[in-house]
């Protein structure tokens, strides 16, 4: 069936082409990736941290992105790649190395882990060139635009998918991106956001998907039901013919999305899939939920949605819309915490937050968009000095004394080494409200407890993760400072990753203990 997009893209995002350099430069600025904090199913299965704790590099070509991947010590060495400029076929070549498996004409994240790709500066545009994630895990893609990727015609890239995942992919967070095409399959385009062949624990948040015949799918056929655990929230689907998304098996959670001009069908749950559909706003659309183009039924749990000028077809054969008055036919248990904006305010919230180059704004759950980096409240009034850190350390030897330290973000005038010097009068701060600092040893050390001390005048840690830097495993997570215990871990490096804060945290000491 030909499903041409009803309204074509009249103007594409303009971006100046930069010099086709192939080198990778060390960046002196801090990547803003993960500023709003990972959400949804990507928080499960050990969490998604991307390149946190690793080196940050700058790339202005696709070849430079590949070179950054191939220059790592191993295929799992964490790295954050800041991208600025237009990435296209002309500047994206294959690069070889023991820590990568790349290909020309596509950004290839294959058989690797612990990588963040984030647009910075004037923005990053992947023009007619897709991003392919295969046999990989712990990946973050943030603040980029991917446009006009084709599977037929010229040039072709990534099977026609803007972002495609397949073959045992785990833990991917795609956030604040813009994915767009200029037509449907007959014009050479395929899906904007596809997952297949055992892809799990994925979140798509604060993003725009528009002007395409196909929004995306989970599962490539009725027999490909090993995918799932995917969250879609605060996204705009606009001028999409179908697959918003198509679900074959597995579980998906859609909340606070704005669906506008879904021309033929929307959320297509089939082959036993279960969709939890909460507080979304459907507008000027047709058959926005149901089981379509198959007799293999799927299921849904609905709550709090708004249907504004939505038309519903009659049920017939393999066309089974959920409306005109959708009701739940299954129940879905969600393992992570989430806060719902009221459905009526979703169009306004999504308009202010979704897509690349929106300042990574997020919702606070009360229909009020906010910037991810709260203003530093400044030091405490000198008349009322406070030390939010604990006064009594845990028993035993502080293993951090005499150890090394490094990190991924550092404010001017502070030092990573200040967290291991035993002096609470000195401190490390990230350059904003998020960042990471690590304690490292020359040989394997067993750690089961840490004590985080804050300096006077510090901002508050809203959320953090403790990571085994060697493996990427999440040892513990929480908020605030103080003592944290976890199962003993043998490692050479432990990382404190601050993912959310009020003001700028001042970490005076990052103490580590064996017990």
Q: Which positions are catalytic?
A: 243
The C-alpha atoms of residue 110 and residue 50 are separated, in whole angstroms, by: 14
CB count within 10 Å of CB 422 equals 13
Cα distances (Å, whole numbers) of residue 171 to 42, 395, 496: 5, 36, 20
Listed in sequence order, the DSSP H helices in 186-315 are none
Q: What is the DSSP string of 112-165?
A: -EEEEEEEEEEEEEEES--EEEES-EEEEEES-EEE--BSSSSS--GGG-SEEE
- The sign of the torsion formed by the CA atoms of 147, 178, 197, 65 equals positive
**Lookup: tokens for 255:** 């909340």
> What pairing do the DSSP bridges indicate for beta strands 289-292 and 319-321?
antiparallel
Give the H/E segment covering residue 348. Answer: helix 346-353
**Token reading at 177:** 């991106």
Place of tokens 């397949």: 166
Widest pairwise Cα distance in the chain:
76
467 within 8 A of 486, measured Cβ to Cβ = no
Residues in the chain: 515
H/E element holding 351? Answer: helix 346-353
Spatial distance between the Cα atoms of 242 and 189, rounded to a whole number of angstroms? 13
How far apart are the C-alpha atoms of 280 and 260, rounded to whole Å? 11
* Structure-block tokens of residue 149: 């990727």
Q: Are 177 and 355 in contact (CB under 8 A)?
A: yes
Interatomic CA distance for residues 188 and 50, integer angstroms: 32
Beta strands 178-183 and 208-218: pairing type?
parallel
Residue showing tokens 């198509």:
246
Q: Which of the 8 DSSP states describes residue 459?
A: P
Spatial distance between the Cα atoms of 397 and 513, rounded to a whole number of angstroms: 6
Tokens read off for 26: 């060390």
Note if the bond before 155 is cis, omega within 30 degrees. Answer: yes
Q: What is the DSSP letter of 355?
A: S
């Amino acid at each position: 069936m030909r499903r041409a997009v009803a309204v074509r893209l009249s103007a594409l995002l303009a971006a100046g082409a930069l010099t086709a350099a192939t080198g990778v430069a060390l960046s002196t600025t801090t990547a803003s990736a993960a500023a709003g904090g990972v959400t949804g199913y990507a928080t499960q299965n050990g969490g998604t941290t991307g390149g946190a704790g690793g080196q940050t590099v700058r790339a202005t070509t696709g070849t430079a992105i590949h070179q950054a991947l191939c220059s790592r010590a191993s295929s799992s060495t964490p790295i954050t790649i800041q991208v600025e400029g237009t990435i296209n076929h002309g500047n994206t070549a294959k690069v070889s190395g023991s820590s990568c498996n790349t290909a020309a004409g596509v950004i290839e994240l294959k058989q690797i882990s612990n990588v963040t790709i984030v647009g910075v500066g004037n923005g990053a545009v992947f023009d007619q060139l897709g991003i392919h994630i295969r046999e990989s895990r712990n990946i973050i893609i943030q603040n980029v635009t991917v446009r006009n990727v084709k599977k037929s015609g010229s040039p072709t890239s990534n099977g026609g998918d803007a972002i495609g995942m397949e073959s045992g992919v785990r833990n991917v967070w795609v956030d604040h991106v813009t994915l767009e095409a200029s037509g449907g399959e007959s014009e050479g385009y395929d899906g904007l956001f596809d997952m297949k062949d055992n892809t799990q624990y994925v979140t798509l948040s604060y993003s725009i998907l528009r002007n395409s015949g196909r929004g995306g799918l989970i599962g490539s056929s009725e027999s490909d039901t090993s995918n799932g655990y995917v969250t879609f929230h605060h996204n705009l689907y606009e001028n999409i013919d179908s697959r918003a998304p198509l679900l074959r098996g597995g579980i998906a959670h859609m909340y606070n999305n704005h669906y506008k001009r879904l021309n033929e069908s929307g959320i297509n749950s089939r082959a036993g899939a279960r969709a939890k559909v909460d507080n979304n706003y459907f507008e000027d659309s047709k058959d926005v939920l149901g089981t379509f183009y198959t007799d293999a039924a799927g299921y849904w749990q609905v709550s709090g949605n708004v249907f504004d000028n939505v038309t519903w077809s009659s049920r017939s054969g393999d066309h089974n819309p959920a409306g005109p008055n959708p009701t739940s036919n299954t129940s879905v248990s969600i393992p992570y915490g989430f806060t719902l904006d009221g459905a009526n305010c979703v169009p306004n919230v999504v308009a202010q937050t979704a897509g690349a180059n929106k300042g990574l704004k997020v919702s606070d759950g009360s229909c009020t968009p906010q910037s991810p980096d709260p203003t530093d409240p400044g030091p405490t009034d000198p008349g009322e000095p406070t030390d939010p850190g604990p006064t009594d350390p845990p028993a035993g030897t502080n293993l951090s004394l005499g150890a090394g330290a490094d990190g991924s973000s550092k404010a001017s005038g502070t030092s990573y080494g200040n967290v291991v010097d035993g002096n609470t009068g000195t401190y490390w701060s990230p350059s904003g409200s998020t960042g990471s600092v690590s304690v490292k040893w020359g040989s394997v050390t067993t750690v089961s407890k840490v004590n985080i001390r804050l300096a006077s005048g510090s901002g508050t840690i809203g959320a953090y993760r403790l990571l085994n830097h060697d493996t990427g495993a999440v040892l513990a997570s929480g908020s605030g400072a103080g003592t944290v215990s976890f199962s003993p871990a043998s490692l050479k490096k432990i990382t404190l990753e601050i993912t959310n804060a009020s003001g700028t945290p001042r970490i005076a000491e990052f103490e580590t203990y064996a017990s």
